[in-house]
Structure 1
Amino acid sequence: MESLIAAIREQEEAARFLAWPGDFDLDRGDHVEEVHLASNTALEGFAGDGAGGTYFFRGAGGEERPILYADSEGSAALIAIGLPELVRLLLVVPWWRDCQAFTDEESRELEAEYLEDMPDFVARRDRAAAALGLGLPDQAEALASLREATTRLGEDFVLIFTPEGHSYEPLFTP
């Protein structure tokens, strides 16, 4: 099976949707700060967003590895188990960072704002998912997966700002 990263690079429309509104760019994998995991498990930046945030694979392996997101303000969280789960989240709920309560109601309000600016959002999203061969969950399922991922605790998922030795704050507060 072809890698999802390769598919995103090859499918221009999908890559454009992931870049906006997904705010996910495979050419921005370098984090602005030196970081490591508390467990000293391998960490590989592979994508980023326009505000300086970075998506990291945790551990060794391929695209099935857990994915942490660190913003440029010193917050981080495990957000998905594997790249397909992350891409589904970005396609269905690109406003995920603003869903602090993980509720469908909160997400629907944010979706309405996006639809005002991008009336073809659903059609573009569906074409991107089809181009990548991904089935899509509904918003509630995508948010439930995000909530489940962000509540995993332990040093395997604690990001440390290496120069000062302090940990990043949780991206979501329980």
Structure 2
Amino acid sequence: MHPLITALAAHDETADFLAWPGDFALDRGDHVEEVHLASGAALEGFAGDGAGGTYFFCGEGGEEHPVLYADSEGGAALVAIGLPELLRLLLVAPWWRDCPALTAEESAEAAADHLEDMPDLADRRDRAAAALGLALPSEADVLARLREVATGAGKDVVLVYTPEGTPYRRLITG
């Protein structure tokens, strides 16, 4: 098992924060349908969200695996290069899926909604990051990195619905 995943399992408060508002749970690694990478590289589901989305490690390696997110509606995007980068995204901008253009304005609106429901969000986030030993970038930096990964390294990562041989649509474009 990956050391950061082990650390998550050992820290209930951190796992709780990632479960909400991050909508990320390690016990949801099975995707709703049969998929594979067009390249033939390995694909390992390791976590998911409440709406049927799945986080996959792509290729070989350890925590530095690229991480692909696939929703249950046929969309997918490479969202991080490595588990630490994914966790920083989920800690800093857990509402990233509510920001299709990845703009600061969208993120500020989503953050305001979350802060209204969870006034101690920043304190809980900071404790979770400390428990994982992660330094946190700014919200703008984490969203810029998400766009860079999805449209750079991720431009050639194609998830395919195996039974029909059809590719998933890109969740994050240009």
Q: Is this a same-fold pair by TM over 0.5?
A: yes
State the alpha-carbon separation in 1 of the partners of residues 109 and 25 from structure 2: 25
2:169 — aligned with what?
Answer: 169
Alignment pair present for 1:64 and 2:64? yes
> In 1, are the aligned partners of 2:151 and 2:173 still within 8 Å (CA)?
no
State the alpha-carbon separation in 2 of the partners of residues 45 and 27 from structure 1: 10
> In 1, are the aligned partners of 2:150 and 2:173 still within 8 Å (CA)?
no
Which amino acid in 2 is paired with 1:7?
A: A
Note the residue ranges of structure 1 that are not aligned, 5 or more in a row: none
> In 1, are the aligned partners of 2:93 and 2:142 still within 8 Å (CA)?
yes
State the alpha-carbon separation in 2 of the partners of residues 58 and 171 from structure 1: 17
> 1:94 Cα shift?
0.4
What is the TM-score of this pair, normalised by structure 1? Answer: 0.96
1:43 — aligned with what?
Answer: 43
1:94 — aligned with what?
Answer: 94
> 1:89 Cα shift?
0.3
> 1:103 Cα shift?
1.4
Q: For 2:130, what is the secondary structure of its paired residue?
A: helix
Q: For 1:57, what is the secondary structure of its paired residue?
A: strand
> 1:17 Cα shift?
0.1
Deviations 1:27-80 (A, max 9, x none): 110001000000010000000000000000000111110000000000000000
> 1:11 Cα shift?
0.8
1:107 — aligned with what?
Answer: 107
Alignment pair present for 1:148 and 2:137? no
> In 1, are the aligned partners of 2:32 and 2:52 still within 8 Å (CA)?
yes
Alignment pair present for 1:5 and 2:5? yes
Q: For 1:90, what is the secondary structure of its paired residue?
A: helix
Note the residue ranges of structure 2 that are not aligned, 5 or more in a row: none
Q: Report percent identity of matched pairs.
A: 70
Which amino acid in 1 is paired with 2:68?
A: L
Alignment pair present for 1:131 and 2:131? yes
> 1:172 Cα shift?
2.1
> In 2, are the aligned partners of 1:100 and 1:173 still within 8 Å (CA)?
no
Alignment pair present for 1:73 and 2:69? no
**Moved beyond 2 Å, runs of 4+:** none
